[in-house]
Amino acid sequence: MKIKKLGLVAVALAAASALALSGCASDTGSGSTEGASSSSAIITTNGSEPQNPLLPANTTETGGGKIVTSIFAGLVSYTADGEIENEVAKSIESDDAQHWTVTLNDGWTFTNDEPVTANSFVDAWNYAAKLSNAQGGSYFFDNIEGFSYDADSELTGLKVVDDLTFTVDLAAPEADWPLRLGYSAYMPLPEAGLADMEAFGENPIGNGPYMLASDKAWVHNEKIDLVTNPDYKGVRTPVNGGLTITFYATQDAAYADVQGGNLDVLDGVPDSAFETYEDEFGDRAVNQAAAIFQGFNIPGYLEHFGMDEEGELRRHAISMAINRDEITDVIFQGTRTPATDFTSPVIAGWTDKLKGAEFLEYNPEEAKKLWAEADAISPYTGTFDIAYNADGGHQAWVEAVTNSIANTLGIQAVGKSYPTFAAALDDREQQKLTGGTRAGWQGDYPSMYNFLAPLYQTGAGSNYEGYSNTAFDDLLAEGSVAQTVEDATAKYQAAQEVLLKDMATVPLWYSNVNGVSSEAVDNVVFGWDSVPLYYQITKE
C-alpha cells in the first residue's frame, strides 16, 4: 500500500471527543472568477448537509464539523500532524493539572464586532453543559466541577477573573486537558448568539478564519458559502478568499466534478475509483493513514441481540463471519486495514494484541458454532440488515459484509439504505433501527479516549445505540485521570477488552484519507484527521 504515515505527537491520553463520519452529499458549487488572485479565489470542496443547526456544542458529525471549525476559533487549534498550538488562548497553565488558568489574547472579535472575552467561553460552556439545552456535546464538560447528567446546573468550576482571564477547576487532575480544547464544543459564543440560539444556529456569528458569505449562505441540502474573515487574528490565516462546501448526493458525482475541473478538493474518493485515482491524479492524489475507524453497531434493544448470553454469541458469530482481509483488498484496493481494536494505528496506545481480538478474525467454522449455540437458546428466523447512508459511498462494502455474513451463517443479511447521513442518524437517535448500523468515527485530536468515551460511555451524546457497561465506564474514568501515559494506555486497552467481549460495535477496518485535488489549486494538505487544511490552499 502507498501509505504515508503521519507524524503524530505522542501525548498523554486525556478525555476527548469524536465526530461521527459522514459521507458526501448533493449539488453544484461555485468556483472563483477566472483570473482571480490566490488571495481572493474561492476554494470549492465537498461536504454533507449538517444534521443540526450550526451550534458548536451540538455539532458532532463531520458535515457540520467541517463548517463549525472553519467559522470558529477556540482556545487552541491543531496542526496537520495533530499537535496543538494556542489560538485565542495566550496561555493555559496549571500547577497541579486540576486547577487551570486560561489567559486570552487581546483584540479578538466576533464577526459582529463583539469582543471575544472570558465570558464568551464561560457562558458558552455553561450553555453547552446545561441539561435542558440538549446539546449533543454536553458530556465533554463532565470533568468540570458542577457538571450534572441529571439536572440543570452551573459549571461551578468556571470563574471569570477579568475580561481576558478565567479559571477552570476539574473534578480530578488531567495533565493534558488542553489537548481537547480545539474541539468544536469548546468554541466561544457571542452574546448575540446566546440571546437567540435558534436564529444563531441558522446563521452563526463566529470568530474563525472564515464567516458565512451572507445571511442566506447556507442553502439546505445544497451548499454553504464561506468567505474569509478580515478580522481573524489566529494561526490559520487563509491564503484564499473563502470556501464553497457543496453537499453532494454521491461521492461518484463529486469525483466526476473534480475530474471535470468543477471541484477543487475532494476528501473522499469513491470505491469505484480506488484502482485508478492515484494513477489519474498523480501527485494531486493522497492515500495516507488517518485517525478514522469504521465498524457497525448492533443495538442491544434488538430481539436476539440483547446484552445477554444469546446476544453476545450472535455478535461474536457475526464478527467472525466477516472476511475483512478479502473485503479490504477487493473493495478498497488496499486503502483500508482490518481493525484489531476500536481506535486507530496513528493514535498512541494502539495495539493488535488485545484479549478478545480473535473475535475480529475470519473464522467461519467458529462463527457457525457460536450461531448454533445462540439458536439453541432462541432460534433466529429474521433478516439481519446493516443501515448505511447512501450519500457516503458505503453500499459496496455493506453488501460485501452482509454477503460474507449470509454465506457463512446461512441467514438472510442485507444492506438498508438511507438517503442521507442526517436521516440515518435520526433513526439511530430515536432507536428505530431494525438491525446493525454503520458507525464510523473520525478523531478530533490524537487520544484513545477520543475514540472511546463519546461512543461507548454510558449516556454519551454519540452513544446512539445506548450501550452501557459499568466496568467499561470505570476503566475509562481511571484512564482519564492516570498520572502517566503508560497507566492511561493500560486502562484504555482494558476498557477495549470489555468492548470486545460485549461486541456492541463490530470493528471492521481503519481508513486512509483518499483525496484528490484539481490542477487549479496548490498547497493541499490533509490533516491527521483526514480534513484538508483549507486555509492553506492557494488558487489562481
**DSSP secondary structure string for all residues of 411-467:** SEEEEEEESSHHHHHHHHHTT--SSEEE--EEESSS-HHHHHHHHHSTT-TT-TT--
Band (114; pLDDT cuts 50, 70, 90): very high
* Any domain includes 412: yes
Work out the angle at residue 229's Cα, subtended by the Cα atoms of residues 223 and 233, and round it to the nearest 5 degrees.
140
Cβ-based neighbours of 164, under 8 Å, separated by 6 or more: 90, 103, 104, 105, 106, 117, 118
Average pLDDT over residues 136-146: 91
Q: How many domains does the chain have?
A: 1
Average pLDDT over residues 196-207: 96
Does residue 223 surpass a pLDDT of 80? yes
* Any domain includes 310: yes
What pLDDT score was predicted for residue 38?
A: 57
SS3 sequence of 331-366: CCCCCEEECCCCCCCCCCCCCCCCCCHHHHCCCHHH
Return the CATH number at 380: 3.10.105.10
- Per cent of the chain over pLDDT 90 is 73
Q: Residues 149-182: pLDDT tens digits?
A: 899 989 999 999 999 999 999 998 887 788 889 9
CA gap 266, 253 in Å, rounded? 11
- Per cent of the chain over pLDDT 70 is 93
How would you classify residue 436: left for phi > 0, otherwise alpha for psi between -120 and 50, otherwise beta?
A: beta
* Any domain includes 365: yes
Cβ-based neighbours of 402, under 8 Å, separated by 6 or more: 384, 385, 386, 413, 414, 415
* Any domain includes 423: yes
Does residue 78 surpass a pLDDT of 50? yes
Higher pLDDT, 64 or 20: 64
Cβ-based neighbours of 54, under 8 Å, separated by 6 or more: 64, 67, 68, 71, 201, 202, 204, 218
435: containing domain: 292-512
**Alpha-carbon distances, residue 275 vs 292, 400, 401 (angstroms):** 21, 17, 20
CB neighbour burial string for 464-475, b if at least 16 within 10 angstroms, e if fewer: bbebbbeebbeb
* Any domain includes 253: no
> What does the DSSP 8-state code read for residue 97?
S
* Any domain includes 449: yes
* Any domain includes 208: no
* Any domain includes 30: no
What pLDDT score was predicted for residue 27?
A: 33
Q: Residues 312-371: pLDDT tens digits?
A: 999 999 999 999 999 999 999 888 999 999 999 888 889 999 999 999 999 999 999 999
